[in-house]
Structure formats: structure tokens, C-alpha cells
Amino acid sequence: MYTGQSIAFYGTTPPSTSSQTFSVSIDGSAPSTVSYGDPDPPTYRQWFQSPELSAGRHNITVDMLDGAMFDFAAVAASPDTPLNGKRLIVNDDSPLIQYHGSWKRSTAGFHSNELTDGLPFRNGTHQSWNAGDGLSFTFTGIYPECVNYTSNLSNNRDFIGCLWDIFLGQSRFAFCDL
């Protein structure tokens, strides 16, 4: 059960030897067969996106999973979605984040020697190769928790996004130099 306008699931798709489809029912509808949409399984990625629904509470049932791994769900909030005390994700392409310096948008996936290769949240990152580049982000909440990873190049950092716990009525300013 969730309150919002849509929901997406992230995790690792099953290997090619497993079924590449699963079943989804939203708000008691007849189940539909859905494909992971992964051209080269297994991959860490968004493997489901619901259609846009009316604002409000919804129930989703997912069945017939065969080897998929679930990491998290992302809900698109609607005006009546209760956010106090919730964690939000502000993606790297949000207009709330102001970059300064020579940042570039990348849709490249990531490669791991120990985990499954995959795609970042919403399939992109902002990257900078210059010392002194930075970003600013104005938010309402308690604190930002910036999540990033560093590629194999020693001066290259890819900014993924910020997470924070919501506390209504508090405004702060966050600034990061990378």
C-alpha cells in the first residue's frame, strides 16, 4: 500500500536463464504480465514503472518473480502524500540542485567487479573532473545525505543524488565542493 501517483521498483533483474516477465496487479485489477525490459540480464536497474494513477492510496501486488532482487521502491508523491518523517530522493537532474563549474550529465551505467553491473537511479548522473567544482541545494528538512561514488579515475566523481528526512518548517542551505 502506498500513497502517491506512481511507483517504480529498483533492484537486479534475474539471469537470462530465468523468466524475464512477472505479474502486476494495481488496486485489485486483473494481473498483467510485465517484462523487466533488460536487454542484457542480470542488471541492477529500475525494473518496473507503474502508469500514472490518480492521487491517493494504492495497492500493488507483484507475483511470479523468478530470481529478481528488490532493492527499493520510489513513489511519485501527490499533493495528499504524507511526507513528514519520510525520506525523499532528489535526483541529480532536479532544478533544485544548482551546479557550478564544468559538470556534465552522463547516462553511462556502472561496472562492478563484485556486484551486478547496472544503471544509476533514473539512469543518469552528473560528473565533474575538475577540483573546485561544486553544487548548491536549498531544501526543507533536517539534513541532506549526499550519496556519491568515485570511478576508477582518481579525480572523477559522479554525483548521484541527495536524500533527507523531512521536517516541515525548517529551511537550510547545503553546499558541497567536490
pLDDT at 9 over 90: yes
Residue range 63-83, pLDDT digits in tens:
999 999 998 898 888 887 888
Total length of the chain: 178
Q: State how far Cα 93 lies from the chain centre.
A: 11
Q: What is the mean pLDDT of residues 7-17?
A: 93
Whole-angstrom distance, CA of residue 77 vs CA of residue 103? 28
pLDDT at 160 over 70: no
Give residue 31's pLDDT band: very low, low, confident or very high (50, 70, 90): very high
What stretch of H or E contains 90? strand 87-91
Instruction: Say how many C-beta atoms besides its own lie within 10 A of residue 127's C-beta.
Output: 19
Give residue 32's pLDDT band: very low, low, confident or very high (50, 70, 90): very high
CA neighbor of 51 nearest in space, from 26, 84, 16, 31: 26
User: What average pLDDT is seen over the chain?
Assistant: 78
At residue 169, φ and ψ (nearest 5 deg) are 95, -10
What separation in angstroms does the CA of 47 have from each of 11, 17, 68, 84, 88? 7, 17, 9, 28, 20
Residue spans per domain, the chain: 2-76, 87-177
Say what the pLDDT of residue 114 is. 65
Say what the pLDDT of residue 78 is. 82
Strands in 32-35's sheet, in edge-to-edge order, are 32-35, 21-26, 60-63
Least confident of 86-95, 128-137, 138-147: 138-147
Which grid cell is 145? 545525505
pLDDT at 49 over 90: yes
Say what the pLDDT of residue 147 is. 57
Q: What is the mean pLDDT of residues 11-33?
A: 96
